[in-house]
Amino acid sequence: MTDANVTSRTACHQRLATLFHAGELVWIESEEYSENDLFWRVTLLCRNASGQWERRRYRYDTLSAALFFMGATPVSDEEAARIRRAARQLRATTALEERTV
């Protein structure tokens, strides 16, 4: 991975982390960089507002630093447990709270 890709990946993770409250449990199930289109495609595992596990898909445009929500699908408890064992966690920041100050 090039330095530019590492930098854009870090920016993508930082932007994604601001979507969640500090302490929220979120895992990065997959991520892929498109060299041709200059964006990251990321799939996260997290709980929705009703407490059910879901897979959320995002696209992060590296040129504009824009994050796009691409949809969500429900995930069974068994599949969520498998993903949590294999994936790494995304550390949520306190940006949601900071924006309201």
- Does residue 101 lie in a domain region? no
Percent of the chain at pLDDT > 70 equals 91
Q: In the block, which residue shows the tokens 């996260």?
A: 44
Q: Name the average pLDDT for the chain.
A: 90
Q: Which amino acid is at 46?
A: C
Is 41 inside a domain boundary?
yes
Q: Is residue 21 part of a domain?
A: yes
The token pair that represents 42 in the structure block: 């990321």
Residues linked to residue 7 through DSSP beta bridges, in sequence order = none
pLDDT digits (tens, 9 = 90+) for 46-83: 999 999 999 999 999 999 999 999 999 999 999 999 99
Q: How many domains does the chain have?
A: 1
Is 30 among the domain residues?
yes
Q: Is residue 77 part of a domain?
A: yes
Does some domain include residue 78? yes
Q: Is the pLDDT of residue 98 over 60?
A: no
Domain that holds residue 87: 3-95
Average pLDDT value for residue range 1-27: 90
Q: What is the pLDDT of residue 3?
A: 80
CB contact set of 48 (below 8 Å; sequence gap of 6+): 54, 72
Binned at pLDDT 50, 70 and 90, residue 94 comes out as low
What confidence score (pLDDT) does residue 2 get?
80
Q: Averaged over 15-32, what is the pLDDT? A: 94
Buried b (16+ CB within 10 A) or exposed e, 54-84: bbbbbbbebeeeebeeeeeeebeeeebeebe
Q: Which residues, other chains included, contact 20 with Cβ-Cβ below 8 Å and sequence gap of 6+? A: 26, 46, 90, 92, 96
